Amino acid sequence: MPSSSTARRTAADDAVQNYLDRLAAATSTLPPAERSELVQQITDHLAAARADARADGLPDDEALVLNLVEDLGTPEQVAAAAGAELAPHTPPSVGLEIATVSVLAFQWLVVPGLGWVVGIVMTFFSTRWTVGQKLLAAALPLPALLIALASLGTALAVPVSGRIDLVVRVLVGLALGTALTFVQARHLVRAAHRDTSHPH
Amino acid sequence: MSCMEPGDATKVTAQLRRGVLEHCVLALLRTREMYTLDLVRELARVSGQSVSEGTLYPMLTRLRRDGKVTTTWHESASGPPRKYFALTDQGRGALETFVVGWRDFTTAIDALLAAPPADPDRAATAGPVVDATPRKGP
């Protein structure tokens, strides 16, 4: 290969790299996966267009690249199109809310009390719940707690006729507490989902 | 009378083109797979001078994510392997739905634009239908 041809290719390569660098800078606010896919698409676009030009016997020089880049639009235009197109289609994430509800509902099974505190702290980070819903989330362990206290109270206050009676009371209490917690948790997760489709 | 700026007509056309562009992709792919570069250039041509080729890639990405198109790589004689777009069954379904909707829509709009005003009294004051285009706010 003559050196002049090498020099021309380098100038064209530099022009490509310059555009890709500007595109990378303009798309810095896009999610990383979207950003790298877009930069890859534009990289492929320019490489293929240059290969087409060579196949047609046209010079693959800086002027060609500058033309190709002009047809692509400015990096800012491409970035704006990506922002408008992709942002509304990222799936609504209610993962935080589901995790929070799980921590609060199942805290009895891990470290009672500590899980409650952790769950309440987690509600502060939710952007999908209103203050009222956050309070309801914080109150998730309450039905189970109240029923535990109530069965303890009745066990102490009312004379128990036998072990079977005590076991039945505790089981009924557990079932009620679980059901209430479940209804409350379902309401909260639905509320988080609703907020994604009807923002207020 | 609304004062229509010279650029407004092209702006309206550009918006209309923008709105149907994704279905133009599906229509272009109806009979054959298309190589990305050809597809993007064809689309930019369809959507007029105002659309830059690079701005079409995010739409293609979304169509792929929505499952309306798939991409495959094919070897190329003149350079690196090339990505081809093809229509999926879901994309074909979306296109058929669009075609039906488009026909109904254009029939209704054509009728609206062509019809003389229904009320003769109002017609005298309201003027031709063209003047009823929404005005820009202050």
Mean pLDDT of A86-112: 74
Report the gap between the CA of A12 and the closest CA in chain B (Å).
16
How many CA atoms, within 13 angstroms, populate the side-chain half-sphere of residue A30? 25
Alpha-carbon B90 to chain mean position:
19
Task: Give the closest of B54, B66, B77 to A72, CB-based.
Answer: B54
Model pLDDT, residue B120: 57
Cα distance from N-terminal residue to C-terminal residue, chain A: 65
> Cβ of A86 and B58 within 8 Å?
yes
Other CB atoms within 10 Å distance of the CB of residue B118? 7
Other CB atoms within 10 Å distance of the CB of residue B83? 20
pTM: 0.56
Nearest chain A residue (CA) to B62: A86
- DSSP strand pairing (B69-74 vs B82-87): antiparallel
Query: Which residue has better confidence, A146 or B69?
Result: B69
Task: Give the closest of B54, B66, B80 to A78, CB-based.
Answer: B54
Other CB atoms within 10 Å distance of the CB of residue A105? 21
Report the gap between the CA of A4 and the closest CA in chain B (Å).
22
What percent of chain B shows pLDDT beyond 70? 77
**Using a CB-CB distance cutoff of 8 angstroms, which residues of chain B are in contact with residue A72?**
52-54
Nearest chain B residue (CA) to A51: B79
Q: Is the dihedral of CA A82, A83, A89, A94 positive or negative?
A: positive
Report the gap between the CA of A134 and the closest CA in chain B (Å).
34
Task: Give the closest of B54, B59, B60 to A77, CB-based.
Answer: B54
Other CB atoms within 10 Å distance of the CB of residue A163? 8
The H or E element spanning position B34 is: strand B34-35
Angle of helix A163-197 relative to helix A131-138, nearest 10 degrees?
Answer: 160
Query: Residue A187 corresponds to which tokens in the numbers above?
Result: 């309401």
Best of B21, B57, B82 to disrupt the A interface by mutation (most A CBs within 10 Å)?
Answer: B57
B75: helix, strand or coil: coil
Is some CB atom of chain B closer than 8 A to the CB atom of A82? Answer: yes
Confidence check: pLDDT of A148 > 80: no
Mean pLDDT of B119-137: 51
Alpha-carbon A199 to chain mean position:
17
What percent of chain A shows pLDDT beyond 90? 28
- pLDDT tens track for A19-47: 999 999 999 988 888 899 999 999 999 99
Q: How confident is the model at residue A170 (pLDDT cuts 50, 70, 90)?
A: confident
Give contacts of A 57-76 with B, CB under 8 A.
71-74
- pLDDT tens track for B82-93: 889 999 999 999
Greatest CA separation for chain A? 104
> Cβ of A45 and B53 within 8 Å?
yes
Interface of B with A (CB under 8 A): 35-37, 40, 44, 52-62, 65-66, 76-80, 82-83
Mean pLDDT of B133-137: 50
Tell me whether 0.85 is exceeded by the ipTM.
no
Burial of A26 (0-12, 13-18, 19+ CB in 10 A): buried
Nearest chain B residue (CA) to A54: B78
**Using a CB-CB distance cutoff of 8 angstroms, which residues of chain B are in contact with residue A74?**
52
Task: Give the closest of A38, A45, A77 to B36, CB-based.
Answer: A45
Model pLDDT, residue A199: 40
Query: Residue B45 corresponds to which tokens in the numbers above?
Result: 């041509």
φ/ψ (deg, to 5) at B116: -70, 155
pLDDT, averaged across chain A:
82
Amino acid at A77: Q
Report the gap between the CA of A123 and the closest CA in chain B (Å).
32
Nearest chain A residue (CA) to B50: A73
Model pLDDT, residue B132: 47
Mean pLDDT of A133-150: 84
Alpha-carbon B104 to chain mean position:
16
Nearest chain B residue (CA) to A30: B58
Q: How confident is the model at residue B106 (pLDDT cuts 50, 70, 90)?
A: very high
B87: helix, strand or coil: strand
DSSP A43-56: HHHHHHHHHHHHHT
Which range in A39-53, A78-92, A140-154, A160-174 is most confidently predicted, on average pLDDT? A39-53
Model pLDDT, residue B135: 52
Helix intervals (H) in A87-162: 95-106, 114-124, 131-138, 142-157
